[in-house]
Chain A
Amino acid sequence: MVTIDEMNLKIIKMLEEDGRMTYKEIAERLGRAESTIRDRIQNLEEVGIIKGYRAVVDKHRLGWECDAVVLCNADPFSLNKALDVLSKHEHVHELLQISGDRRLLFRVRTKNSRELEEFITKEAMPLGLVNVDIRMVIGCMPKGCEKNENGNEKPRNKRVRELNRMQVQ
């Protein structure tokens, strides 16, 4: 069992902001021993509080230009199958069962709108989805991309931030 104290919360926050921070960097910031930090992080990973780490990739730049949120319902008899297929589909990113008049919400990314249309009509609808309400995502702000004082987007990436600092000096 891991107790969530102040230090663990600080560690989690740092790793959410920069998942590549080394044990040493975290230890320095918190003024603790590197071994303490390593043990704590390994514990957090073991109990599944930290489920993993991932690079945040600009999907738009990689050619996934069409981004949509779909709100819909599924015919109760095919709900489980629909959930299963959608959750494994490469175009579906997040799948939520929510309260409200449309009880499914998922995010779809495709290369273009034709591909989105094909996905919806040929793959999603045959799963028994009804009342399909497609909303295009025209802007997305992930956590950590807050604008700074100058109105520029603050790079999430610690290494990029360092490069920028070096250019300024």
Chain B
Amino acid sequence: MDMVIIDEMNKKILHLLQMDGRMTYKEVAAHLKRSESTVRDRIQNMEREEIIKGYTAIVDKSKLGYKCDAMVLCNIDPRQMHSVIPDLIKLDAVSQVFHITGERRVMFRITAQEPRELEQLINRKLIPLGIINLDLHIIMEAKEKFPPTAVPLVLSKPVPELTR
């Protein structure tokens, strides 16, 4: 399999798709003034090489009634780490799992509708998994950056304003 080179054009494509993951090949092509087939090949190559790992809708959970959002720092018995983490990420309420350095080596985000539900999730789902030293931080405010511009983007000229 050919290695994908992240050149200027691929960077621009990644930038556009991070801003709007539903852009069609045609729209991306129009922004970059290239042919649709070139853009399609490049996107498919980056998907195959898993530089693009997927696409996701960004959902405002608070508007769906999930008012209780928290970050948990905890530990897991090192011998069970490999079996517990996949079970943890499978829970609907858990959205990001990080293995970090420091005193508590696992960090994840958990979202519930109300404090009582959060308490039940912890006692009935998390504790039985073998999670210890659980340190719960309620998220009071989240400044989420959208679009998340994270690609090392060195554009010779700015990407035109999105009109969708």
- A-side interface residues toward B, CB under 8 Å? 4, 9, 12, 15-20, 47-59, 61-64, 69, 83, 87-88, 90, 92-100, 105, 109, 111, 133, 135-147, 155-160, 163
Contact = CB atoms under 8 A, between A and B. Distances in A.
Given A19-B22, A53-B20, A98-B71, A4 B64 contact: yes
Interface class of chain A by DSSP? mixed
Contact of A138 (B19, B53, B100): B100
Contacts of A9: 64
Contacts of A90: 149-150
Interface residues of B, number: 58
Given A54-B19, A54-B58, A155 B53 contact: yes
Contact of B137 (A20, A83, A99, A141): A99
A64 B152 contact: yes
A54 B64 contact: no
Contact of A20 (B22, B63, B102): B22
Closest A-B pairs by Cβ, 5 of them? A156-B54, A19-B55, A139-B99, A53-B21, A15-B57
17 contacts: A16-B56, A18-B56, A50-B57, A52-B20, A54-B146, A56-B53, A57-B51, A58-B51, A58-B52, A98-B71, A100-B135, A105-B71, A139-B98, A140-B96, A155-B50, A156-B54, A157-B52
Interface in B113-149: 135, 137-149
Given A49-B64, A137-B98, A140-B97, A93 B145 contact: yes
Contact of A143 (B52, B89, B139, B148): B89
Given A157-B54, A159-B44, A136 B101 contact: yes
B54 A56 contact: yes
Contacts of B143: 83, 87, 95-96
A56 B21 CA distance: 9
Contacts of B19: 52, 54
Nearest to B102: A135
Nearest to A92: B145
A54 B140 contact: no
A127 B164 CA distance: 36
Contacts of A93: 145, 148, 150
Given A69-B98, A96-B71, A57 B59 contact: no
Contact of A94 (B50, B58, B94, B142): B142
A157 B43 CA distance: 12
B114 to A, nearest CB: 16
A16 B57 CA distance: 5
B100 A135 contact: yes
B38 interface: no
B155 interface: no
Given A17-B56, A136-B100, A159 B139 contact: no
B151 A19 contact: no
A144 B101 contact: no
Nearest to A95: B143
Contacts of B63: 47-49
B55 A97 contact: no
